[in-house]
Amino acid sequence: MNQLRTIGAAILRRHGFFSIDQIIRATKLSRQKCRDVLVLFCQEKLIRQVKKGRKEHVPGRPPIYAMIYRVIDRKRLTARIGPRRCENTVQDRMWYIMRNKFKSDGSFNLRDLMILSGAKKGMARWYLKALRREGYIIPSRKAGPGVEWRLTGNFGPERPYICSERKQKREDKSLLNAVKMIQRKRQIRPALNRKRAV
């Protein structure tokens, strides 16, 4: 995550007013960097400077100001720090074909994506794989040549953002597995107790 996003996320975590010192403490970035980003957000009218009070002056040091800010547009700030997406990319076109083919025919396949969206075979296969991993689509049978795919819900015209960070996914998976293990143990224990009682 870059510095702008780190600072943006720290601002969003604080509900309402915040000071530059609070942001520095939360992000552990230098004062200058934090100030630069906050000035940029002010220029973009995402946040507003409310107060600029001078801090207690230490002799021999430059003066420091305690600046207090307020978020003007939370939605726009979220969009600003979020990943930016281009329009009419190959992925957009593939998502469009998937939705419309699913609506009209009930399923779609790799060939539909390649022919109608103009995607290369490798790209279309990667996209199907990625969407399947995220749970947006399911195959009609065991994956292989000529398999038909279906959407698992109505996700709207905006194509979903696919996270390419696989490492994080694995961590999530391990966490999920741990939760499942605990749930299983909880289910097994009462059954064991019942057996012992008998």
Residues at the site binding another protein, with contacts judged by CB under 8 A: 87-88, 93, 96-97, 100-101, 103-104, 111, 114-118, 121, 154, 156-158
Decide whether 118 or 135 has the Cβ nearer to another protein. 118
Which of residues 47 and 110 has its CB atom nearest to another protein in the complex? 110
* Residue number with CB closer to another protein (32 or 104): 104
Smallest separation, CB 150 to another protein (Å): 16
First vs last C-alpha separation in the chain: 57
Nearest to 41 by CA among 75, 61, 9, 71: 71
Least Å from the CB of residue 133 to another protein? 23
What is the distance between the alpha carbons of residues 77 and 144, in angstroms, rounded to a whole number?
43
Rounded to an integer, what distance in angstroms lies between the CA atom of residue 183 and that of residue 190? 12
**Minimum CB separation from another protein for residue 138, in Å?**
22
Of 6 and 101, the one with the shorter C-beta distance to another protein is 101
Q: Please give the backbone phi and psi of residue 134, each rounded to the nearest 5 degrees, phi first.
A: -80, -10
Strand duo 149-151 + 17-19: pairing: unpaired
Query: At closest approach, how far in Å is the CB of 134 from another protein?
Result: 19
CA atoms of 64 and 123, how far apart (whole Å):
53
